[in-house]
A and B are shown apart, each in its own frame.
Chain A
Amino acid sequence: MNLAHLHLVMNHVPTLGAVVALGLLLLAFIRRNEHLKHVGLEVLFVIAVLTLPVYVSGVAAYYEIRERPDVSVDNINIHQDAALIGFTVMEFAGFVGWVALWQTRRRGHSARGVVPAATVLLVVALAIMGRAANLGGDIRHPEIRAAGAAAPAEGDPERFITSAIKEVAVYSTWVWPAAEAVHFLGLCLSFGVLLAVNLRILGVKRQTAFADVHRLLPWGMLGFVANFITGMFFFVGQPGQYVASAPFYWKTVFLMIAGANFLYLTVFGKAWRHTEDGDGGFEASLADKAMAVSSLVAWLAVLYAGRMLPFLGKAF
């Protein structure tokens, strides 16, 4: 199975997953069921995480099929632009969903308007992703075009969003280095927070209530958002450096694991019983400790793979 194949397998996840998450959230609104809402938000977060490999493998697929005579590079670019916008909105929805989950864990309910905002963003993401999926089908499936309809509109190569980002990445002398600096600062912040949270689960500083380390998660998220934005800038700006790079794929895989871990830490409920009377003393089970170790290992693997991009891969 090559990466183009992986893209064909995974490309249904954002659209179908968004339908499932949306269904759960709408049902939760109708039934006024908090538990269902929670599940819907969790599904939304997972779908947002899984949308990353869909986008990344799509760019790799582009590199695999662009030489073929029966493939229009323009069609791919139109699809890619739609996918990039859909991806962005989907990540936004996932982020807002995460905020709702964090607030719910902390205060028992999310702030007003957060869940509706996530839902609206999800609807927008679904619409754009649906269009991207349709445009993607046009690349290799002439049979799905309406009879007699012309080939899809030609895009102006000068005006693709991805081309504009590439242009900035290649020709600006300071944007790339500045983004690199932000990327490193973001990882320090994220890793510091994860260290604090996971060490607490592992039994260090036992007197601290888990709620107090949970309080730090948004700071970790802030670092991650900075890294995600700058990282995607690198990837969209110079995809050729990454699509054939083994460490980049390991990095993506470990990001998926780390994302699952982060969700676990956000909604982690067991430790909270102990916090109401104000004292810490929460003892994590072996499974929780394994989760904490895997979280740190996954992040170290992300860092290692990222740092090795220029050495094992060919990024600079």
Chain B
Amino acid sequence: MLVGASWMLDLRLLGINRRVPLSAYRWVFPAVSIGLLVNVVTGVMLFIKNATKWGTATPFLVKMLLVIASVAVLVPLRSHVLRNDAGTEVSGNLRLLAIVSILAWTGAVTAGRLLAYLVP
């Protein structure tokens, strides 16, 4: 929900469905917030079960950095989307942020999945 909804916005910024106004993508942010809330709560619970193990595992820290980066990228994207009512134009900077967002989420999911294999 978190990643998928972010990607939908990123795809739009990269030119998929270019003629749809950005304001039609406001639903993404509540969806992202709910997904993020659920993930943070359950993630913290999983973390405290074995905090010393995860807190010292490099792949886990990499994953956390990527998650923080992904969420951080959403902040400027959000303010842009909320500011523009009927705008369909997307600047080069926003496209760059969209690419960063896609890659950061991809990295975060991949790192998260590989934790099971890299951290014994």
Contact = CB atoms under 8 A, between A and B. Distances in A.
Contacts, number: 73
B8 A192 contact: yes
B1 A191 contact: yes
B5 interface: yes
A204 interface: yes
B109 interface: yes
Contacts of B113: 177, 180-181, 183-184
Interface stretch (A53-61, A79-87, A207-215): A207-215
B8 A181 contact: no
A199 B28 CA distance: 10
B27 A199 contact: yes
B62 interface: no
B96 to A, nearest CB: 21
A216 interface: yes
A263 interface: no
Contacts of B24: 205, 207-208, 212
Interface SS of A by simple majority: helix
A19 interface: no
Contacts of A216: 8, 11, 16-17
Given A177-B116, A193-B8, 10 more contacts: A180-B116, A183-B113, A188-B7, A188-B105, A188-B109, A189-B7, A191-B4, A192-B7, A196-B8, A199-B31
Contacts of A219: 11, 16
A189 B27 contact: no
Contact of A181 (B11, B17, B109): B109
Interface residues of A, number: 25
5 contacts: A184-B113, A188-B105, A196-B8, A205-B27, A208-B20
Interface in A172-196: 177, 180-181, 183-185, 188-196
Interface of A: 177, 180-181, 183-185, 188-196, 199, 204-205, 207-209, 212, 215-216, 219
Nearest to A220: B4
A204 B11 contact: no
A185 B109 contact: yes
A212 B3 CA distance: 20
Contacts of B105: 188
Given A189-B4, A193-B4, A204 B16 contact: no
A195 B114 contact: no
A185 B26 CA distance: 23
Contact of B110 (A181, A192, A193, A194): A181
Given A181-B109, A205-B26, A205-B27, A192 B5 contact: yes
Nearest to A223: B4
B10 to A, nearest CB: 10
Nearest to B4: A192
Interface string B87-120: 0000000000000000001100110111011000
